[in-house]
Amino acid sequence: MKTMILSTLLSALSITSYAADFFPYQQDDKAIFKLNVVDGRPVEHQSQVYISDIDDKWQLMKNFLGQDLWVHSEEGTGRVYLRNPETKEENLLVDFNADVGQKFEQNILPCVASTEILSKKADLTIGKAPYGGLTRVYFNLQEACRGSGLNSAWFDREIGLVQWTVTAGRYQLRTDYYQLVRANIDNKNYPHQQYGNIDVNAQFPAQHIKYPDIREITATLSVTNHQSGDVQFKYGTGYPVEMEILDINGNVLNRWSDGKSFFTILPPRTLPAGDTMDYQLTIPVRDDQGIALDTGVYEIRMTYMGQLVGEDELPHYKVTAPIKVTRVYVN
């Protein structure tokens, strides 16, 4: 089965304030993105997002969403606009203050018919930082493009763009992941490293599931200690890993641990230097009432319930991935 792999290094993220939420880029700011996964295989390719030219209020962003785009962020409104370089026509890319589900018609981005706010509570762990409360923007493609084009983009209020995905392939579609490696925004470096090299690797199924052909989702979460010494994890639950299915608003529809009995809290576990702990969970493609999920876009979230001993303020580490469900009705 195809998988998509999200590798994460655990750390914490400091929060600061910018005048232009979700699009804070200024002259000399730079963000490095890495093409991390192509069709389940890690690859090595980096691109740099930065301002290469300025025309009044407009900024020419190099490699923004993989393209060179004229962008303007309207301060204080949450609106980000694109401009056609030839006709000078303006197009609202997204209004970050709009409600979940709001769509915006597009006529500048190739193959994109509209953008849509899918979530304002998305969690993502990339590079060396867990990000929470991200706004996920989905790109509804034109039918003529046959599913190929921009898929989704995740925006942090202070940092801006942290990840985007592209669906590509002529005969067999795949998903490419462009993830933030590091950025310098307003003379501040991201991500901030405060914790050691604990690597979390999550393998999820293919992004598109047809029900009832596929009735369950199986995913694997691996925790690796890249430090020179042993580390110890403690738990506040009777299970080390949680798995959930969420709707586009961030509401939990199904939780792996629901209905299960755990009589004791797990004892602390030591992870020697260089070793890996693997956890595999399976969850049905249905809600907590046992009803099969309708056709739509959802998210799978895996959470490691362990915390490093001595680091009580450290949050649980979450990895999420989008998944599309097509429910086939059989007469």
pLDDT grade for 55, boundaries at 50, 70 and 90: very high
Q: Total domain count for the chain?
A: 2
Q: Measured between alpha carbons, how far is residue 297 from residues 162, 217, 247 in Å?
A: 20, 14, 7
| Greater pLDDT, 43 or 7 | 43
Task: Indicate if 163 and 253 belong to the same structural domain.
Answer: no
Residues 47 and 181 occupy one common structural domain:
yes
Considering the domain architecture, whether residues 185 and 228 belong to the same structural domain is answered as no
Tell me, yes or no, if the pTM score tops 0.85. Answer: no
Peptide bond into 212 cis (omega under 30): yes
Indicate if 170 and 260 belong to the same structural domain.
Answer: no
Smallest Cα–Cα separation from 308: which of 214, 204, 198?
Answer: 198
> Any idea what the CATH number is for the domain that residue 134 is in?
2.40.360
pLDDT given for residue 311 in this prediction: 67
Percent with pLDDT over 90 in the chain: 46
Asked whether residue 151 falls in the same domain as residue 298, the answer is: no
Same domain, 306 and 323: yes
CATH number, domain at 254? Answer: 2.60.40.2360
Phi, psi at residue 32, to the nearest 5°?
Answer: -100, 125
Residue 244 has pLDDT above 90, yes or no: yes
pLDDT tens, residue by residue, 186-216? 767 676 543 456 777 777 766 678 899 899 9
Range with lowest mean pLDDT among 154-168, 229-243, 268-282, 307-321: 307-321
Domain boundaries, position 281: 198-327
* Residue where a domain stops, chosen among 143, 168, 190: 190
Q: What is the DSSP string of 128-174?
A: TEEEEEEEEEEEEEPGGGTT-EEEEEEEETTTEEEEEEEEE-SSS-E
User: Are 62 and 210 in a shared domain?
Assistant: no
Instruction: Tell whether the model's pLDDT for residue 15 goes beyond 70.
Output: no
- pLDDT in the model for residue 313: 55
| Boundary-marking domain end, from 157, 190, 223 | 190
